[in-house]
Amino acid sequence: MKDSHQPLNPKAFPVSWDQFHRDARALAWRLSGQGKWTAIVCITRGGLVPAAIVARELGIRVIETVGVASYHEYKDQGQLQVLKGVDPKLIEMDGGQGAGILIIDDLVDTGATARIVREMIPKAHFATVYAKPKGRPLVDTFVTEVSQDTWIYFPWDMDFAYAPPISGRGDG
């Protein structure tokens, strides 16, 4: 288990709330005019914040979640586990297979989570705020690419130093 007082990884990319908000709005700008979006499916938990920002900016009122856990102890990518699927009625709207749906996440890393969600909603438009090279081919739209060995520290993970979740559980 990682010591919560350890310094940041040398290839760290800490993101402030202000920067994340600007980047999520930039994602909304890129998505505007690309389609008629009827709903957002956000990948929890990382996709919740950008999904709220994108939904506000694009006037989307229907937001669904899909829960896939892959990070454990905020350190290693473990075996993927689907915790919550997407409502089949939503996927069948607009001609089926998720046409008209935006999938939103904070980051595509290796693409493992993206592959699972794409299988669930094959015609959806997949958008992330950040992308790493291994996962980048699986998303349609993103804002910033970082190297594969960079660890992004999101604002909800940060205090003045890494802050473990209140529940004590660090599983993603």
Q: Contact, 27 vs 19, CB < 8 A?
A: no
Distance CA 135, CA 115 (A): 9
**Per-residue pLDDT tens digits of the chain, which is 172 residues long:** 444 445 556 688 999 999 999 999 999 999 998 988 999 999 999 999 999 999 999 999 999 999 988 655 555 556 888 889 898 888 888 778 888 999 999 999 999 999 999 999 999 999 999 999 999 999 999 999 999 999 999 999 887 767 677 776 665 5
Beta bridge partners of 105: 128
Q: Would you state the structure tokens that stand for residue 109, as one six-digit string?
A: 């890393």
The residues carrying an active-site annotation are 105-106, 109
pLDDT at position 5, please? 46
Distance CA 48, CA 106 (A): 8
Distance CA 52, CA 60 (A): 9
pLDDT at position 9, please? 60
Residue 56, SS3 per DSSP: helix
Distance CA 31, CA 37 (A): 9
**Side-chain-facing half-sphere of 4: CA atoms under 13 Å:** 14
pLDDT at position 7, please? 53
Q: Which residues are CB-neighbours of 88 under 8 A, at least 6 positions away?
A: none
Q: What is the pTM of this model?
A: 0.82
Domains of the chain, first to last = 12-155 (3.40.50.2020)
